[in-house]
Chain A
Amino acid sequence: MLETKGLTKRYGRHKVVDDLSFRCGPGEVLGFLGPNGAGKSTTMKMVTGFVAPSSGSASICGHDIQTDTLAAQRRIGYLPEGAPLYAEMTPQQFLEFVADVRGLSGAGRRSRLDEVVALLHLEPVLNQSIDTLSKGFKRRVGLAQAILHDPDVLILDEPTDGLDPNQKHEVRQLIRSMSEEKLIVISTHILEEVDAVCTRAIIIADGRILVDDTPDNLAKQDGGDLDAVFRRVTQGNGHKDPEGTS
């Protein structure tokens, strides 16, 4: 479903993503964890075809993202970091635009739009310009856009960033409800999120995979404290963090 082989991104001499290889399939919710600047977003940008890798490859359902870009992109729903949206449009116009580009048409288009709007509770703001929406609504419009064409692979870069606890809860429920038939990859630095929705967690730092395990197994280490696991693996036993902060 999603496979990367030796995925690497260099900026000058600095490797942001370093030889990343993993594969995952439907039914999995893969949590991509790591400190800020670990290379999570860059990896997602490469997997979705926005940024070209320096070396290595990624494929979606057998379609290489570099050589068979459109076929791969048709299978992906993607929420970029910060959920960028066309601010001058209304959610209605914006979602209709995405539906057109995704090739939805006829009655299916209408019903799918209604379905997604209901799923993300966008009814009250449908005809208000995106500019004026709260952060939570913007994020939900971004999510609506990503799931509109019912993609096989859903890639969400910090989907709950900036949401209040209720909204976070709803988004997590949404992710769980879709997880059976899809492959979902989320990036986050919120550890409780991994516990709440992920079936598998990959911890990366400095562009390299440090841990690839289930959240349950992770929690068994360090006395069930995910935060402690995270600190230990990303900071090398906490040597870099003498004050014990963060």
Chain B
Amino acid sequence: MSMINALFRRELQSYFATPVAYVFIVIFLMLMGTFTFYLGGFYERGQADLRAFFNFHPWLYLFLVPAIAMRLWAEERKTGTVELLMTLPVTPLQAVLGKYLAAWAFAGIALLLTFPIWITVNYLGDPDNGTILAAYIGSFLMAGGFLAIGSCVSAFTRNQVIAFVISVVVCFGFLLSGFPLVLDMFSGWAPQVVVDGIASLSFLTHFADISRGVIDLRDLTYFALVIGTFLYANTIVLRWKQAD
């Protein structure tokens, strides 16, 4: 645990040691605001809730979360520090978890900084704060899912641009796996069970469930499984790439 903690602190520190963290947070908040008020029609809806705000989270995450995740392993590989890290007495799982949790915490910080929107809606009306809290939790979990995918993809390459592009594509697949765009690729030949299975992988449907204010065990399990699976794959990729 103390090992993961040391890795976690180093990683989080490195986000804030460069302008990356600040640029990311400013852009994230600006886009969130723009989407909510212009595209989402926050005022025009005339409702005291944050649907206009949360509806855009999956789409913003699609591009912004891979941007956080792309550097996790690709940069270590590029600069050679992965050799330093993996010859310290650290297991691959500890290394993956330490770095992943730091990236997730960073995403959490950016998400928390959207609090003015919560203040705004409470000032203007009388929203259901329980639903808002649930949606925040759902949003955080979804960011965690995207990050796990991005971290795993990042371990494949030393090129951050490649890591970013591939992560976006994989995340896009997960986001839309409940929609015809993805399902049509399988429905022609795969058995119905497989198609249903793929459909149930959609980030959008699980996030929509939670953001309605219902924290269902199935949705929590879903995100835990996605994160667990991709981080486990991450350790395997790491070991496999190292053997080369």
Residues of A within 8 A of B (CB): 11, 45, 48-52, 70, 73-74, 76, 78, 80-82, 84-89, 93, 97-98, 100-103, 129, 145
Stretch at the interface among B87-95, B148-156, B196-204: B87-95
The verdict on B14 contacting chain A, using a C-beta distance below 8 Å, is yes
- Contacts A100-B6, A101-B6 given: A129-B84 contact, CB under 8 Å? no
Q: Is the CB of B17 within 8 A of A102?
A: no
Query: When A and B form their complex, which 9 residue pairs have the shortest distance between CB atoms, in order from nearest?
Result: A84-B80, A100-B6, A88-B17, A52-B243, A73-B89, A80-B83, A48-B87, A70-B89, A97-B10
- Contacts A50-B83, A51-B242, A82-B80 given: A102-B89 contact, CB under 8 Å? yes
A-B contact list, 10 entries, CB within 8 Å: A50-B87, A52-B243, A84-B79, A84-B81, A89-B17, A100-B2, A100-B5, A101-B3, A101-B6, A101-B88
The verdict on B86 contacting chain A, using a C-beta distance below 8 Å, is yes
- Contacts A50-B83, A52-B243, A97-B6 given: A89-B14 contact, CB under 8 Å? yes
Expressed in whole angstroms, the minimum distance between the Cβ of A16 and any Cβ of chain B is 11
Give the complex CA separation of A102 and B81 in angstroms: 16
Interface residues of B in 1-28 (CB under 8 A from A): 2-3, 5-7, 9-10, 13-14, 17-18
Q: Which residues of A contact B18 (CB under 8 A)?
A: 88
- Contacts A89-B17, A93-B13 given: A98-B80 contact, CB under 8 Å? no
Give the complex CA separation of A147 and B180 in angstroms: 58
Q: Is the CB of B87 within 8 A of A49?
A: yes
Q: Which residues of A contact B89 (CB under 8 A)?
A: 70, 73-74, 101-103
Q: Is the CB of B14 within 8 A of A98?
A: no
- Contacts A97-B6, A101-B6 given: A84-B14 contact, CB under 8 Å? no
Q: Which residues of A contact B79 (CB under 8 A)?
A: 84, 86-87
Expressed in whole angstroms, the minimum distance between the Cβ of B162 and any Cβ of chain A is 21
Expressed in whole angstroms, the minimum distance between the Cβ of A129 and any Cβ of chain B is 7
Q: Which residues of B contact A85 (CB under 8 A)?
A: 81, 84
- Contacts A52-B242, A84-B83, A86-B81 given: A101-B17 contact, CB under 8 Å? no
Q: Which of B2, B7, B13, B86 contacts A50 (CB under 8 A)?
A: B86
- Contacts A51-B243, A74-B89, A100-B2 given: A80-B14 contact, CB under 8 Å? no
Give the complex CA separation of A78 and B9 in angstroms: 22
Q: Is the CB of B243 within 8 A of A80?
A: no
Expressed in whole angstroms, the minimum distance between the Cβ of A124 and any Cβ of chain B is 20
Expressed in whole angstroms, the minimum distance between the Cβ of A11 and any Cβ of chain B is 8
Give the complex CA separation of A145 and B87 in angstroms: 12
Q: Which residues of A contact B17 (CB under 8 A)?
A: 88-89, 129
Q: Is the CB of A80 within 8 A of B84?
A: yes
Closest to B92 in A: A69
Give the complex CA separation of A110 and B90 in angstroms: 22
Q: Which residues of B contact A97 (CB under 8 A)?
A: 6, 9-10
Q: Which residues of A contact B86 (CB under 8 A)?
A: 49-50
Max chain B Cβ within 10 angstroms of own Cβ: one of A81, A85, A86, A87:
A86
Expressed in whole angstroms, the minimum distance between the Cβ of B14 and any Cβ of chain A is 5
Q: Which residues of A contact B244 (CB under 8 A)?
A: 11, 51
Give the complex CA separation of A87 and B80 in angstroms: 11
Expressed in whole angstroms, the minimum distance between the Cβ of B46 and any Cβ of chain A is 47
Q: Which residues of B contact A82 (CB under 8 A)?
A: 80
Known pairs A84-B84, A100-B9; list 18 more (Cβ under 8 Å): A45-B83, A50-B83, A52-B243, A73-B89, A76-B87, A81-B80, A84-B79, A84-B80, A84-B83, A86-B14, A88-B14, A89-B10, A89-B17, A97-B6, A100-B2, A100-B6, A101-B7, A103-B2
